[in-house]
Structure 1
Amino acid sequence: MKNYFFYFALLLTSLFSFGQKQPQESIIKMPPIIPDSKITILKEVDVLFNTRMGFDNCFVDGDLMSSQFAVNQLRFEIKGKIHDKVYFRFRNRYTKIPDPTTIDNLSRAVDLAYLNIELTPKTKLTLGKMIGDWGGYELLINPIEILSYNVINDKSDNFQVGAAFTYSLEDRKNTFNFQVLNARTKTFQEQYGTTAPPGIVATKTPLSIVANWKGHLFDSKLETTYSAARFIDAENCNRNYLALGNKFKTGKLTLYYDFQYSNEDLDQKCVVSNIIKKQHPYAAQEVTYIDNWIRAEYKIQPKVDVLLTLMANNSYWNGNPDPNKSDCLATSYGIIPTMEYTPFSDLNLKFYVGYIAKKYNYSSYAQTQFNAVDYSSGQLSFGIIAPLLVL
């Protein structure tokens, strides 16, 4: 009798196993949800969340104003090849108010949205919204790595819609980039409104022309990004811009130095205009901004980096009609010491602590004529910096 029970149990086990096996085999034979051709494309595509978040402590003239957590940067990015000769990139910023009322019909929260087409091995054509190639290295570094910008880059529209043509020499050590972009994202009315000086009217061609040279010298120990640009801001009102970006790398040390010069017929940065606005209701004319920016990065241990950023700005009102004028109205200084710790060897995630100290000094003329008052600001931050690659 026991033998009958044994054979009966064996039969049931076999039938059960066969019943379980059949559906598994049928599932395996079904075609994949994502076809192989699409998987090949996905291998060339990166999806990132560029993130900086932490605990910020803000000070004005040494007094604590606030202590709170903040997501300082969150930019979703997707980029890669969709064809052997076509590359795309899209980046949206979630820490900026999405304003659709722009001249390019695209939200200002969108940093990048462009196609890069390889015409020949040495030439490329770029179409869409891209970074203006005028900012030196401060603007080219991933924004999550910059705790605070100097005046010119902080006050500029740095992402514009347009077209670019890039040419590389045979040695690939020298690249030339030519861009034709919109000069701004806002309309003339939005930018200046009632502050537009009498006689100054909107232009029909608010465009900018940019020429840039990127070089690698001395066995690539020295790299350069030198730019010259001209902006049409209004009828008979232009902006001339020059940037000299330098990067020197040796051993554990990387050193950056940017010089930036912006001469503006009509004040686009609005720093000077904000100083004089109580006595002059119109945007300032004939202004000049000069920036100097230095950043040093040193790896003291494989997982520990120390950084020091120094910056300075001079703001001039050359068009002041006062015969007793002082051209330089304001000077600002900044220093940002930072330490970063990377705990994982296979993940680009860093813990950081940094302090942003800035000092704003106004000339005696600005203090007397416009009631400008010197002040200082500070921000002590702890948090993480991570370009999180999720695909």
Structure 2
Amino acid sequence: MKKYIIYWIFLLPILSFGQIKTLEENAGQQPLIPTPKLTLLKDVDIIFNTRMAFDNYFVNGDHTNSAFSMNQLRLEVKGKIHDKVFFRFRNRYTKIADNGTVDNINRAVDMAYLVFDVTPQAKFSFGKMIGDWGGYELLTNPIEILSYNTINNTADNFLVGAAFSFALEDHKNIFNFQLLNSRTKTFQEQYATNLPPGIEISEMPLAAVGNWKGHLFDNKLETTYSYSFFNDAKNAKGNYVSLGNKFKAGKLTLFYDFQYSNEGLDRKSVVTNIIKSKYVYAAEDVSYMENWVRAEYQIRPRLNLLLTVMNSNASWNGNPDPNKENNLLKSYGIIPTVEYLPFKDFNLKFYAGYIAKKNNYSSYAQNTFGAVDGTTGQVSFGIIAPLLVL
């Protein structure tokens, strides 16, 4: 027994010294993420905007294909990095990563910009941002839009530039002004060999945007109205008007967008593709006019019904044919959708949706350019989730 007591007398100081040394080493070791950085992370969100589905495709009523698809996957990182500096970055992994040769940034990058708080009411932004054209179709998270109308589906909606916004004291009226590159591609890449004779490249191919966001009638009605001017070429300008309206009453939310785009040179290429059997050049003096309506109704706390209705008109006002008919195409779309939210505290939805679209070409377009009417359909069963991981 005495022998064991002697052992412990000698071992206790050694063990105590080892514990003290370990504690000192742990106290001096820096964490993987320094404490000051951890305070920054509390103001930063990392989101995987996701939509995945089993899609079934139809053309003119005939089934053509069925496949599982990752319809949307956009990684978004946003938050404050300073009391007066906010940043936002969003990258799309479901888009071909071709280079934006004008702005030197990949076109798969939706947004990469900084916002500086100049005053509590004024902000300045710089970088790649969404064009504030107005309209709720474009402003809605893309994972919520099963199919876009013609203008938003074919336009360059994410461009590099600068913006200044100012809010009135009540913050119910916000005015935003943007100066952006008018496109992501160079003039030559945009129109290739289709450039009409006499069109000259602009030395400042920019887009100027003015937008008003209003909150009216105790916030029951919200608006986002804009006018945009595109200086695409010296003798081919563009004008774009968009009027977005959002009305909310109880369980019903109703959106209505009206959009009109007049283009000296066809930026959307819809008219150009119709007339290409007879004309080798991009169409001049074209216009697009659209209506987009979306209704959302919560019939139960976890069950939503949605209905989207849209139409689009494409016209060639500069057609040199004396027997011309300006309007070439009227297209229509309807998207009924059912959503089920299985969790109270987690924004994930199972959905079933049907996308039906129809193209009605004018008799002039059919007889002159060989255009053929047609319908497309898509039945989808899937999941929509903005996955907030941080």
TM-score bracket for this pair, using the shorter chain length: over 0.9
| Deviation of 1:33 (Å) | 2.4
TM-score, reference length from structure 2: 0.95
Q: Which residue of 1 aligns with 2:110?
A: 111
Shift of 1:12: 12
In the aligned structure 1, how far is the partner of 2:96 from the partner of 2:122?
A: 36
In the alignment, structure 1 residue 264 sits paired with structure 2 residue 263: yes
Tell me what 2:314 maps to.
315
Amino acid at match of 1:171: D
Query: Any conservation in 1 of the 2:287–2:315 contact (CA below 8 Å)?
Result: yes
Secondary structure in 1 matching 2:184: coil
Q: Report SS of the residue matched to 2:201.
A: coil
What code does the residue aligned with 1:117 have? F
Matching of residues 1-391 of structure 1 within 5 Å = 25-26=23-24, 28-29=26-27, 30-391=29-390
Distance 2:15 2:252 in 1: 64
What is the CA–CA distance in structure 1 between the aligned matches of 2:338 and 2:14, rounded to whole Å?
Answer: 62
Between the aligned residues of both structures, percent identity stands at 63
After TM superposition, the structure 1 stretch with the greater mean CA deviation from structure 2, 95-104 or 373-382, is 95-104
Asked if 1 retains the 8 angstrom alpha-carbon contact of 2:239 and 2:263, the reply is yes
Say which SS state the counterpart of residue 205 (structure 1) adopts. Answer: coil
Distance in 2 between the 1:204 and 1:120 partners?
34
**Deviation larger for 339-348 or 61-70:** 339-348
Q: Deviations over 1:218-270 (max 9, x none)?
A: 00000000000000111211110000000000111100000000001111001
Residue type at the aligned position of 2:354: Y
Deviation sequence 1:310-335 (CA, Å, 0-9, x none): 00001101111111111110000000
Uncovered stretches (5+) of structure 1, i.e. residues with no partner: none
For residues 261 and 308 of structure 1, the distance between their equivalents in structure 2, rounded to whole angstroms, comes to 23
Q: Is the 8 A contact 1:135 1:153 kept in 2?
A: no
Contact 2:334 2:356 in 1 (8 A): yes
Structure 1 runs (4+) deviating above 4 angstroms are: 3-24
* 1:384 Cα offset (Å): 0.7
State whether residues 163 and 179 of structure 2, in contact with CA within 8 Å, keep that contact through their aligned partners in structure 1: yes
User: How many Å apart are 1:160 and its aligned residue?
Assistant: 0.4
- List gaps (5 residues or longer) in structure 2: none
Q: Which amino acid aligns with 2:90?
A: R
Asked if the contact 1:341–1:350 (Cα under 8 Å) also holds between the matched residues in 2, the reply is yes
Residue 9 of structure 1 deviates from its aligned partner by 12
Stretch moving more, 182-191 or 195-204: 195-204
Contact map agreement 1:230 1:240 (CA 8 A) in 2: yes
Cα shift at 1:54: 1.0
Corresponding residue SS for 1:157: coil
Q: In structure 2, do the counterparts of structure 1 residues 292 and 12 end up closer, same or farther at CA, with 3 Å as the change threshold?
A: farther
Post-superposition offset of 1:28: 4.8
The whole-number CA distance in structure 2 between the counterparts of 1:356 and 1:72 is 14
One-letter code aligned to 1:218: F
Inter-partner Cα distance in structure 1 for 2:3 and 2:311: 91
Are the equivalent residues in 2 in contact too, given 1:304–1:339 (CA < 8 A)?
Answer: yes
Q: TM-score, normalised by structure 1?
A: 0.95
**Distance in structure 2 (CA, Å) of the matches to 1:277 and 1:356:** 28
Letter aligned with residue 123 of structure 2: K
Q: CA deviation at 1:346?
A: 1.8
**1:180-212, CA deviations, whole angstroms, 9 ceiling, x for partnerless residues?**
001000101111011010111221111000000
**How many Å apart are 1:342 and its aligned residue?**
1.2
State the alpha-carbon separation in 1 of the partners of residues 64 and 134 from structure 2: 32
User: 2 CA distance for matches of 1:63 and 1:13?
Assistant: 85
1:6 deviates by 10
**Mapped contact 1:90–1:114 kept (Cα < 8 A):** yes
Secondary structure of 2:118's counterpart equals: strand
Question: Could you tell which deviates more after superposition, 155-164 or 227-236?
Answer: 227-236
Do the aligned partners of 2:74 and 2:90 also contact (CA within 8 Å) in 1?
yes
Amino acid paired to 2:82: H
Question: What's the C-alpha RMSD, in Å, of the aligned pairs?
Answer: 2.1
| CA distance in 1 between partners of 2:13 and 2:72 (Å) | 59
Q: Deviations over 1:57-107 (max 9, x none)?
A: 111001111100111111111000000000000111111111124200111
Provide the rounded CA distance (Å) in 2 between the counterparts of 1:128 and 1:169.
25
**CA deviation after TM superposition for structure 1 residue 135, in Å:** 3.8
Alpha-carbon separation, structure 1, partners of 2:301 and 2:122: 38
Question: 2-side partners of 1:8 and 1:306: how far apart?
Answer: 81
Give the whole-Å Cα distance in 2 for the aligned partners of 1:316 and 1:108: 28
Provide the rounded CA distance (Å) in 2 between the counterparts of 1:318 and 1:193: 22
Contact persistence 1:102–1:108 (CA under 8 A) = no
Which stretch shows the higher mean deviation, 197-206 or 170-179?
Answer: 197-206
State the SS of the aligned residue for 1:189. helix
How far apart, CA to CA, are the structure 1 residues paired with 2:373 and 2:360? 5
Q: Offset at 1:111?
A: 0.4
Look up the SS of the partner of 1:160 in the other structure.
strand
Measure, in 1, the Cα distance between the counterparts of 2:255 and 2:11: 72
For residue 51 of structure 1, what is the amino acid of its counterpart? T
